[in-house]
């Protein structure tokens, strides 16, 4: 009855704050240091990046896979709060046409933090692409009220916090 009259409890069910964890083991770097202006100048959106030390990419949030590029070098996830994240594995890896990438999910799959998304061959990426640096970018930044980024340093997949988000 109170819920109906005053809207009590109505908004509490919605996720308004969220943590984005590292999707891969490695070194966290600021997005501005990514050696590609599309990412470093935030043309695609704000975020962080990781220089991976392993080829196992896991989900950084609980949510749903909304896009899996046919070349498997990038994946989009919509978190429970509605934030859309792009994980772009390496730079100029689209030219590899999927070679060295194995997807473990498909569009529409529900994922939890730490669920395997993609496995990649880092040595092959080093050989065939410009960099292994993996940006994690917020694609719908207009939905986010505040992004709190964590310091650069060592990252453990699904454990190290990259960003704290507060959605509008």
Q: Of 10, 70, 73, 88, which one is the catalytic site residue?
A: 88
pLDDT at position 9 is 42
The model's pLDDT over 112-123, given as tens digits with 9 standing for 90+, comes to: 999 999 999 999
Cβ pair 72, 101 in contact under 8 A:
yes
Cβ pair 72, 90 in contact under 8 A:
no
Mean of pLDDT values over 52-68: 98
DSSP run (H or E) holding 162: strand 161-167
Q: Whole-model pTM? A: 0.91
Mean of pLDDT values over 54-67: 98
Q: Which residues of 89-111 are buried (b: 16+ CB within 10 A; e: fewer)?
A: bbbebeebeeebbebebeeebeb
Asked if residue 39 has pLDDT above 50, the reply is yes
Asked if residue 8 has pLDDT above 60, the reply is no
Asked if residue 5 has pLDDT above 50, the reply is no
What are phi and psi for residue 37, nearest 5 degrees? -60, -25
Cβ pair 96, 125 in contact under 8 A:
yes
Pick the range with the lowest mean pLDDT from 9-18, 34-43, 124-133. 9-18
Looking at every residue in the chain, the average pLDDT score rounds to 92
Four-residue CA torsion sign, 97, 101, 102, 103: negative
pLDDT at position 14 is 79
Pick the range with the lowest mean pLDDT from 5-19, 37-51, 96-110, 114-128. 5-19
Domain at 16-167, CATH homologous superfamily: Glucose Permease (Domain IIA) (2.70.70.10)
Locus of tokens 């050696």: 35
Asked if residue 89 has pLDDT above 90, the reply is yes
Domain range summary for the chain, segments of one domain joined by +: 16-167
Residue 24, CB-side half-sphere exposure with 13 Å CA sphere:
28
Residue 73 among the catalytic residues: no
Quick one: what percent of the chain has pLDDT higher than 70?
92
* DSSP E strand boundaries for 2-157: 17-21, 26-30, 47-52, 56-58, 63-68, 74-79, 84-88, 101-103, 110-111, 116-120, 134-138, 144-149, 153-155
Cβ pair 132, 90 in contact under 8 A:
yes
């Amino acid at each position: 009855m109170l819920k109906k009259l005053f809207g009590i409890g109505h908004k509490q069910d919605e996720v308004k704050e969220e943590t984005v964890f590292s999707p891969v083991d490695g070194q966290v770097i600021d997005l501005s240091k990514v050696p590609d202006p599309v990412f470093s100048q935030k043309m695609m959106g704000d975020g962080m990046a990781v220089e991976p030390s392993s080829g196992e990419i896991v989900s950084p949030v609980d949510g749903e896979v909304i896009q899996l590029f046919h070349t498997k070098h990038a994946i989009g996830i919509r978190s429970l709060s509605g934030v859309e994240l792009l994980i772009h594995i390496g730079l100029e890896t689209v030219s590899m046409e999927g070679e060295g990438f194995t997807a473990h999910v498909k569009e529409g799959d529900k994922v939890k933090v730490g669920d395997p998304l993609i496995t990649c061959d880092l040595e092959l990426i080093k050989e065939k692409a410009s960099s292994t640096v993996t940006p994690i970018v917020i694609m719908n930044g207009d939905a986010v009220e505040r992004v709190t980024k964590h310091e650069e340093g060592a990252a453990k997949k699904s454990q190290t916090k990259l960003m704290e988000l507060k959605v509008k």
